[in-house]
Amino acid sequence: MTLARAVPAPSGPKKVKTVKVVDSETGAEMAELPVLTGTVGADVIDVRTLQAQTGLFTYDPGYTATASCESKITYIDGDKGELRYRGIPIEQLAEHSDFLEVCHLLLYGNLPIGGEKEAFAKGVTYHTMLHEQVNFLFRGFRRDAHPMALMVGLVGALSAFYSDSSDVDDPEQRAIASYRLIAKMPTIAAMAYKWSIGQPFVYPRNDLGYAENLLHMMFAVPCEPYQVNPVVARAMDLMLILHADHEQNASTSTVRLAGSSGANPFACIAAGIACLWGPAHGGANEAVLEMLEEIGTPNRIPEFIERAKDRDDPFRLMGFGHRVYKNYDPRAKIMRETCHQVLDELGVRDEAQLKIAMELEKIALDDPYFVERNLYPNVDFYSGIILSAMGIPRTLFTAVFAVARTIGWIAQWSEMHTDPSQKIGRPRQVYSGETERDFVPVDQRG
């Protein structure tokens, strides 16, 4: 049976007009550049011929004003606080769909119809086990290693086991690698956890749903039966849906950049995991809990708010602010509701921690510093609290995020390989170092 199916390919944005670049000193026209449009969202200036026309490059540290690719997968309107996967609002997917359906949607452009859902789920579950030899790799890691350190290493190492799905020019091999990555990430994340607590690895169970299986592999032990709590399973599924993709964020851009050289998919996803690990990105949910713990009691909140506002203090309120959302993060709204539901159902409220979180949210939403800078709580502000209530250890939070984001990475990576304008990523720079100087022999250096 072949797995390869059509992945919607970028078709080339349409040119709607041109803009001229004029020298402000002489008034001379330096260049004329096309303005391109997508289906929705801001138009972009196509600067590809700028250097040829003017000898100038663009300067954009952090790519805050740069569209690095054309994509049909995810749309964000940061001003309105909207997020859509393949056109469908995240709120509708969160309410009516499940994670595997969302994977199908992101990868193939549509929700599954007829037998597609079952076939897709079967294709994924067929790949949930890891090559048994991978178990031995764990022995090389310290027990107290951060799970993300293990994830980066182990996912990269999959290239050594699955070379039969590493040819990126073969659509069938790309499809097999996609299924393998979606299927094996929960297994690896759960094993990383089990390794850290010294318990035996638990093999995947293909009769369970995706989220249920992840929880089962994390919390079951061989000596007694384990029943997954359906409330927790649904919350986990929701968490996976909300984190599944987020257009050209740092880790996704990393995956695309790594993939642009033709690197194999396992290496590319390992690169994405490495980027996700940082506290400004996926590591934020872990950092939120650390911050709540550090604050300790509500009366210390003003002190931390003042620190967050102090330009000379590197401290930031973790879980607040977003590069794209300058309005409420729509995922945070859903997560906030789920957070309260899960805490009520499980009866495991850490009242002090929750009180600090809610108080912090209230103060930050009223404080002119945060209001003027549009710093709203983001998805990670609540996800850490929910994951903690589910019994998931803090160091594993970002690994769960990585499990969810794998489909986004894979969908974007697959799309890139169908893009006729794809080329190796190679930004330029403004060089501000020494111009040219002669080598000085060691005995003459002063």
Interface ranges with ligand CMC (CB under 6 A): 246, 249, 280-282, 284, 308, 316-323, 373, 375, 378-380
- Which residue, 184 or 246, is less far from ligand CMC as judged by CB? 246
- Which residue, 379 or 396, is less far from ligand CMC as judged by CB? 379
User: What is the signed CA dihedral for 322, 324, 330, 335, rounded to 10 degrees?
Assistant: -30
* Tally of helices (H runs) and strands (E runs) in the chain: 18, 6
Question: Among 246, 247, 241, 325, which Cα is nearest to 38's?
Answer: 247
∠335-101-8 over CA atoms, to 5°? Answer: 110
Q: Kindly state the smallest distance separating residue 131's Cβ from ligand CMC, in Å.
A: 31
81 backbone φψ class: left, alpha, beta (φ>0; ψ -120 to 50): left
Q: Kindly state the smallest distance separating residue 93's Cβ from ligand CMC, in Å.
A: 18
Instruction: Evaluate whether 107 touches 411 at the Cβ level (below 8 Å).
Output: yes
Q: Kindly state the smallest distance separating residue 280's Cβ from ligand CMC, in Å.
A: 4
User: What is the signed CA dihedral for 191, 123, 402, 223, rounded to 10 degrees?
Assistant: -20
Instruction: Evaluate whether 218 touches 186 at the Cβ level (below 8 Å).
Output: no
- Which residue, 210 or 376, is less far from ligand CMC as judged by CB? 376
Determine the residue with CB nearest ligand CMC.
321
∠396-334-318 over CA atoms, to 5°? Answer: 50
- Which residue, 104 or 336, is less far from ligand CMC as judged by CB? 336
| Known catalytic membership, residue 380 | yes
DSSP 141: S
Q: Kindly state the smallest distance separating residue 346's Cβ from ligand CMC, in Å.
A: 24
For residue 30, give the 3-state DSSP assignment: strand
Of 281, 322, 329, 417, which is the active-site residue?
322
Q: Kindly state the smallest distance separating residue 250's Cβ from ligand CMC, in Å.
A: 7
- Which residue, 220 or 291, is less far from ligand CMC as judged by CB? 291
Of 237, 281, 380, 417, which is the active-site residue?
380
| Known catalytic membership, residue 322 | yes
Catalytic residues: 322, 380
